[in-house]
Chains A and B, each alone.
Chain A
Amino acid sequence: KNEVEQSPQNLTAQEGEFITINCSYSVGISALHWLQQHPGGGIVSLFMLSSGKKKHGRLIATINIQEKHSSLHITASHPRDSAVYICAPMEYGNKLVFGAGTILRVKS
């Protein structure tokens, strides 16, 4: 069983739609990253959170430590949001474990 499960694996949305990507994990963690990777590009950390909710512009991330679950929401999605989104819980001792990623395509 994978330590980190992301869903969905693939997601196609129309511009303007509200998008949710879910992440469940089985390991004990100190924090969780949501990462973004554009095709052929590097990896950028969107959020690091250890409790509650964080918001950056149109992006919102939530985490429930007790239920070992996190979600990434994109409001008013735009084609430039098309990317791979990766959930990466951080174990104690700084080690990251990674989900397989969600491939998001937003059509105009």
Chain B
Amino acid sequence: NAGVTQTPKFQVLKTGQSMTLQCAQDMNHEYMSWYRQDPGMGLRLIHYSVGAGITDQGEVPNGYNVSRSTTEDFPLRLLSAAPSQTSVYFCASSYSGDSAEAFFGQGTRLTVV
């Protein structure tokens, strides 16, 4: 059982470049979400999705786009990377409904220079 798979694990970008962080889950979870983790800030919600075709903004959505064309995949796009987006990014998934256990990917460490 693969669980939640994130790729890549590490990435260095130049300011202004674009890239997509991939997240896939094989548990048929409806709910998927993206977080960023910065020192001293804890994890903060970027975007989330409650099912295919439905996405919404979280706490820190600026500079990021998402889409959810399938239940399995929830990619996070940086259209024009900025140094402020240097962070560790985590994807998570769970069934919808109360008291659903969340599963996390291994994280993507992104550096924007």
Q: With both chains docked as a complex, state the minimum distance between the C-beta of A8 and any C-beta of chain B, in angstroms.
A: 15
Closest residue to A49 on the B side, CB-wise? Answer: B99
Q: B interface, how many residues as a size bin?
A: 20 to 34
Q: What secondary structure prevails in chain A residues at the interface with B?
A: strand
Choose from B41, B42, B50, B106 the contact partner of A42 (Cβ within 8 Å).
Answer: B106
What per-residue 1/0 map shows which CB atoms of B54-98 lie under 8 Å from chain A? 000000000000000000000000000000000000101010111
A101, B100: Cα distance in complex, Å: 21
Q: A interface, how many residues as a size bin?
A: 20 to 34
Quick check: is A92 within 8 A (CB to CB) of the other chain?
yes
Choose from A31, A44, A99, A101 the contact partner of B98 (Cβ within 8 Å).
Answer: A31
Are A42 and B105 interface neighbours, CB within 8 A?
A: yes
Quick check: is A90 within 8 A (CB to CB) of the other chain?
yes
A90, B97: Cα distance in complex, Å: 11
User: A88 to chain B: which residues have CB within 8 Å?
Assistant: 43, 102
Are B98 and A95 interface neighbours, CB within 8 A?
A: no
A95, B100: Cα distance in complex, Å: 10
User: B50 to chain A: which residues have CB within 8 Å?
Assistant: 94
15 new A-B pairs (CB below 8 Å) besides A31-B99, A41-B106, A50-B99? Answer: A30-B98, A33-B101, A42-B107, A44-B104, A45-B101, A45-B102, A90-B98, A90-B100, A94-B48, A94-B94, A94-B97, A94-B102, A96-B33, A96-B43, A96-B45
Residues of A near any B CB (own CB < 8 A): 30-31, 33, 35, 41-45, 48, 50, 86, 88, 90, 92, 94-96, 98-101
Instruction: List the 3 shortest-distance A-B pairs measured between CB atoms, nearest first.
Output: A30-B98, A42-B106, A43-B104
